[in-house]
Structure 1
Amino acid sequence: MMPDFKKRIDAFIELGKQLNRIALAGSPDQLSPAGQALFHEILESPHRNPWFTAENVKNAITGLSVMLEENKMRKWLKDYTIQDHPNPSKVAVVMAGNIPGVGFHDFMCVLVSGNHFLGKLSGQDNELPVKIASLLTEIEQGFSTMIEFTDERISDFDAVIATGSNNTSRYFEYYFGKYPHIIRRNRNSIAILDGYETPGEQEALSNDIFMFYGMGCRSVSLIFIPDGYEPELLLDSFSKWEHLKNHHKFYNNYEYQKAIFLVNRTNHLDTGFVLLKEDISLRSPLAVLHYYRYKSMADVQDFIVQQKENIQCVVARQGLQLKGAEKVNTGDAQNPGPSDYADGIDTLKFLLELNARK
């Protein structure tokens, strides 16, 4: 039997507490059976996907635990009217696999709305979502009839949420266009500096850039710096991520991009693990960070307006005021709250409207 709304929310809040416990645990001995399975998954993930290092998976799990903190969950849901429907929808979610557990927010929204979840797993991340779901059903067994995962072609669903590249989005539009849908495409994030950042804020920015190897849509790929600001000032704050050069796949990308820059005589800064290039392109290759000098904040805001459909986050220090853009404080890009919807599309509202139409 489907748990009622209160039980669903309480279960997710408890899930957050247990995820935090697992991320901090030195051994699985004091964890529940599902918690132990997730603990072991942290250690085993790199063998299936070299990008999913134990550090990355722990960072992802910790981020989910922060998202699920009770005050954030209650604040998020207070503006919605959620009523259990006698005939809930089955919502297919085509999950991305660029960073660990990236489809969790869609998973949560489907279940919080009282609908049934059908997850199409990514080949890059086909164990972690299942282990997290098992932990949730251990907390609240009523979820067991509401959750289904598959590696096969999905069918028999009422609506779809799909996340992929610009190329796969065209495929999604073709196959899923006749269903109620949310289809997401490539996005990147930018940071805006004004020269008044503290050393602590600069170091926090490095997390926004390098966590998950810069492979997330919330990862900063382009930094705007004021005219006269020297990008070398940022290099010391990047040093905490120097260990990325020990990851062979990341370092291979670094060496490849460096070779291209040298052959083409492209001006760049080299930290030994990431290359900085002056370029206003929003999307930068792996192991490359773009920066661009602006003359006025109005120029930056014009860029944000022009690239609105391609930008996920705008990162800036807490005291910097921006017009026409929602800002994420430096260091928070990789820790979205429950109300931080990908591409600015209110997923929960979409799901609640499905049931309202029935």
Structure 2
Amino acid sequence: MTLETKKSVFVELGKFLGQFSKDNTVKNPAVLHNETFFDAFIALINLSQSHNGWYTADNVYFSIHSWAEALTEENLTQWLSDYDLQNKKSKNIALILAGNIPLVGFHDFLSVLITGNNVVVKTSSNDQHLLPFLAKYMIAADPELGNSINFVTGKLENFDAVIATGSNNTARYFEYYFKDKPSIIRKSRNSVAVLTGDETGEELSALGEDIFRYFGLGCRNVSKLFVPVGYSFVAFFEAIFEYQDVIHYEKYANNYDYNKAVFLMSNFKLLDNGFLTLKEDKSHASPISSVFYETYDNIDALKTRLQSESEHIQCIVSDSSIENSIGFGQTQKPKLWNYADNIDTISFLLTT
């Protein structure tokens, strides 16, 4: 398949996904293969929470919408413009995917196929349905793709390189097991926000999206705040009050009750608004329903520290004062060229 043909398949997939919305799903008769896939996809979305209790319809629709916006001719062309994708010999690339948020492994899947490689996918037990469904749609759009896509349930075999995502513990296993193969091994990362005290209510409300989207389960979710000495959290709590309904979701509420009880039994001082706890802690990785915070008195010293800890940080949210930071409310809206862990997946695939 030519690059243009592959791009066209992903553009068609983007058009297909663009029909689906939590509040306004509309069937577009111009979209390819709707007669086969439209109703079936709605049924799968409705079943997603039974497959994974964290995959609420709201979060699944959010992920679908994000990919619909990404998979356009313009975005694909801009993303790939800096690479030479011609005359690339196909290799078999194994993907070991996470399942913490819906379609979390789709970017790797896209990257392997768009570079002319074959993909061998081992899905997470927590996300076994969404990606295979999209793969079936793509194969319907161009049956030749069926020769390049293979989902496996057992042992990975016959692959030339691997991209694996997991926890720090599983990463050690991956590094040993795949030591003889070219690889990208992704470990646990977290995202942080740097506040100055001058944020508007709108910015703090958008920060709530960075915290609560996907219940905080993604590496792009903000789990740690850096605030100036003497910072008052009143404006922060007022701005995120609109996210209070998260506590009505049983799995989140159970985590809130459990983690709050553990903190209190350990005599930790907490700030609490009834659906989120704030705990002063030097760690970046906070449990579900809690965000850690630290104070700073020198922004330059903080910048140096964040740079030294970059291997543990996925995103930094702030105003423009922090280099390479992103705006409030943008963590879950990465562009195609925003690579996980800042590792250029396309370059890896082209040089493997």
**TM bucket, shorter chain:** over 0.9
The whole-number CA distance in structure 1 between the counterparts of 2:198 and 2:35 is 47
| Shift in Å, 1:55 | 0.8
Q: Post-superposition shift, 1:291?
A: 1.5
Mapped to 2, the partners of 1:303 and 1:250 lie a distance apart of: 32
Asked whether 1:83 is paired with 2:82, we answer: no
Aligned to 2:25: 26
- Please tell me whether the aligned partners of residues 279 and 290 of structure 1 are also in contact (alpha carbons under 8 angstroms): yes
- 1:7 maps to amino acid: T
Partners of 2:91 and 2:159 within 8 A in 1: yes
Q: For 2:125 and 2:27, how far apart are their aligned partners in 1?
A: 26
Greater RCO, 1 or 2 (C-alpha within 8 Å, sep 6+): 1
Match of 2:222 among 220, 225, 233: 220
Q: Tell me the secondary structure at the aligned position of residue 184 of structure 2.
A: strand
Aligned pairs for 1:271-286 within 5 A: 271-286=273-288
**Aligned equivalent of 1:239:** 241
What pairs up with 1:1-358 in 2 under 5 angstroms?
Answer: 3-23=1-21, 25-26=24-25, 31-85=34-88, 87-317=89-319, 320-322=320-322, 325-354=323-352
What is the aligned residue count? 347
Q: Is the 8 A contact 2:192 2:317 kept in 1?
A: yes
Gaps of 5+ in 1: none
Q: Is the 8 A contact 1:90 1:117 kept in 2?
A: yes
Cα distance in 2 between the residues matched to 1:251 and 1:109: 37
Identity %: 38
Superposition CA RMSD, Å: 1.6
**Counterpart-to-counterpart distance in 2, 1:70 and 1:292:** 43
Matched residue of 2:19: which SS?
A: helix
CA deviation string 1:290-336 (max 9, x = no partner):
1222112112212212211100011113xx222xx421111110011
Query: Structure 2, unaligned stretches of length 5 or more?
Result: none
8 Å CA contact 2:94, 2:121 repeated in 1: yes
Q: Separation in 1 of the partners of 2:36 and 2:302?
A: 51
Cα deviation per residue 1:157-192 (whole Å; 9 max; x = unaligned)?
A: 111000000000111111111011111100000011
Q: Give the deviation of 1:265 after TM superposition.
A: 2.5
Q: Counterpart amino acid of 1:121?
A: T
Letter matched to residue 341 of structure 1? Y
TM superposition shift of 1:28: 6.5
Task: Please report how far the alpha carbon of residue 29 of structure 1 lies from its aligned counterpart in structure 2 after TM superposition.
Answer: 9.2
Query: TM-score, normalised to structure 2's length?
Result: 0.94
Q: Is the 8 A contact 2:19 2:26 kept in 1?
A: no
2:331 partner SS: coil
Partner Cα separation in structure 2 for residue 122 and residue 59 of structure 1: 20
